């Protein structure tokens, strides 16, 4: 639950709308999309260290 609220704080509402549209078009689940985004963030953090 913490992760969800963390994401909601970081992602603006208009971007959420865009993500939902993207999800509908690609047929990707929102969970899959979030996991992909998190993986990208995580890799970015790893690169910085």
Number of domains in the chain: 1
Is the model's pTM score more than 0.95?
A: no
> Does any domain span residue 22?
yes
Tokens of 16: 């959420």
Segment 9-34 mean pLDDT? 72
Q: Is the pLDDT of residue 49 over 70?
A: no
The Cα 22–Cα 6 span in angstroms is 21
- How far apart CA 26 and CA 5 sit, in angstroms, is 24
25: in domain: yes
* Residue 8 in domain: no
pLDDT (mean) for 11-20? 73
Task: Identify the domain containing residue 33 by its residue range.
Answer: 13-48
In a domain, 23, yes or no: yes
Give 23-43 pLDDT, tens digit per residue: 666 666 777 777 788 887 777
The answer as to whether 18 is a domain residue is: yes
Residue 39 domain flag: yes
Residue 5 lies in a domain: no
């Amino acid at each position: 639950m913490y992760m969800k609220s963390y994401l909601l704080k970081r992602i603006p509402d208009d971007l959420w709308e865009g993500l939902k549209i993207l999800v509908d078009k690609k047929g990707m689940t929102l969970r899959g999309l979030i996991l992909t985004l998190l993986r990208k963030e995580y890799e970015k953090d790893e690169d910085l260290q």
